[in-house]
């Protein structure tokens, strides 16, 4: 069964700090790894990663995938209070019509 | 706004009852996923439909069922409700049938069973 483990479970930082969120996975027939941000309600898509070593970047957020070691990291630089959210990692299986989600990392950014 | 509409937003019902949650996918998306999120937990995959047909099934209880209609909207039916079924139920949609692709989530239906 596909499995996604995120760490840490929660993190409290101050504005301006840089954070690194971790996601490790076990999946047969890996297709992709996705990051989502969940604030009050609906998760919103951040990145989809399919190839090792290629960094995806959007503003202060960036992510990279290591398919050999089966993990991904999500970096957020110069954090702001608006970055406070649950960050979810998911993996897609080429043979399955679903993505398997981890339990998420709750990030709290204090002013 | 993701373009995915879920109704109702909130639902309070008693144990033993049956409820129906509704989802309208984003325009053009053929794939609909249902997820359950209990307190402080990640998203648990329930079931997926693609263009009207069931495509993938997760750990969905036998008391739960779903369908996707010709207009592509989907309904999740929950019956013989128990207190443990209280959760946030999300619908998501995507263009293609396979998982691991960008999905757009609705705002969820908060179900409370009392």
pLDDT greater at residue A35 or residue B56: A35
Does B98 contact A43 at a Cβ distance shorter than 8 Å? no
**B24 and chain A in contact, CB less than 8 A:** no
Reading the block at residue B69, the tokens are 């209609």
Reading the block at residue B109, the tokens are 């239906």
Q: For residue A9, which of A102, A110, A109 has the smallest C-alpha distance?
A: A102
Residue among A33, A88, A94 whose CB faces B42 most closely: A88
Enumerate helices (H) and strands (E) in chain B, giving the number of each.
0, 11
Taking only the tens place, the pLDDT of each residue in B15-34 is 999 999 999 999 999 999 99
Residue among B2, B48, B108 whose CB faces A98 most closely: B48
Cβ pair B46, B58 in contact under 8 A? yes
Q: For residue B56, which of A24, A26, A2, A43 has the smallest C-alpha distance?
A: A2
Angle at Cα A77 formed by Cα A92 and Cα A72, nearest 5°? 25
Phi-psi region of B61 (alpha: psi -120 to 50; beta: other; left: phi over 0): beta
Reading the block at residue B11, the tokens are 């639902």
3-class DSSP assignment, residue A82: helix
Residue among B45, B90, B106 whose CB faces A98 most closely: B45
Q: Which residues of A touch B103 (CB under 8 A)?
A: 45, 99
Does A31 contact B58 at a Cβ distance shorter than 8 Å? no
From first CA to last CA, the distance across chain B in angstroms is 31
pLDDT score for A94: 79
Give the pairing type, strands A61-66 and B10-13.
unpaired
Cis amide prior to A87 (ω within 30 degrees): no
Confidence of residue B2 (pLDDT cuts 50, 70, 90): confident
Distance (Å, whole) CA B23 – CA B3 = 11
Reading the block at residue B56, the tokens are 């993938």
Does B35 contact A100 at a Cβ distance shorter than 8 Å? no
pLDDT score for A51: 87
Q: For residue B66, which of B82, B87, B83, B45 has the smallest C-alpha distance?
A: B45
Distance (Å, whole) CA A56 – CA B102 = 15
pLDDT over 90 (residue B49) = yes
Cβ pair A34, A24 in contact under 8 A? no
pLDDT score for B89: 97
Distance (Å, whole) CA B41 – CA A72 = 20
pLDDT score for A40: 81
Element (H, E) at B64: strand B64-68
């Amino acid at each position: 069964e596909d499995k996604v483990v995120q760490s840490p479970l929660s993190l409290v930082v101050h504005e301006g700090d840089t954070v690194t969120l971790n996601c490790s996975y076990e999946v047969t027939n890996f297709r992709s790894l996705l990051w989502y941000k969940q604030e009050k309600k609906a998760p919103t898509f951040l990145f989809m990663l399919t190839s090792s070593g290629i960094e995806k970047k959007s503003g202060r957020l960036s992510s990279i995938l290591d398919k050999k070691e089966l993990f991904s990291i999500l970096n957020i630089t110069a954090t702001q209070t608006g970055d406070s959210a649950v960050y979810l990692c998911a993996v897609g299986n080429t043979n399955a019509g679903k993505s398997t989600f981890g339990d998420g990392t709750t990030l709290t950014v204090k002013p | 706004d993701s373009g995915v509409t879920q109704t109702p937003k909130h639902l309070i019902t008693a144990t033993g009852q049956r409820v129906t949650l509704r989802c309208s996918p984003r325009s053009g998306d053929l794939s609909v996923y249902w997820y359950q999120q209990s307190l402080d937990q990640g998203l648990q995959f329930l079931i997926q439909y693609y263009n009207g047909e069931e495509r993938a099934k997760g750990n969905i209880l036998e008391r739960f069922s779903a369908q996707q209609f010709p207009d592509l909207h989907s309904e999740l039916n929950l019956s013989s409700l128990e207190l443990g079924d209280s959760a946030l139920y999300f619908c998501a949609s995507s263009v293609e049938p396979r998982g691991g692709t960008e999905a757009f989530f609705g705002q969820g239906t908060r179900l409370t069973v009392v």
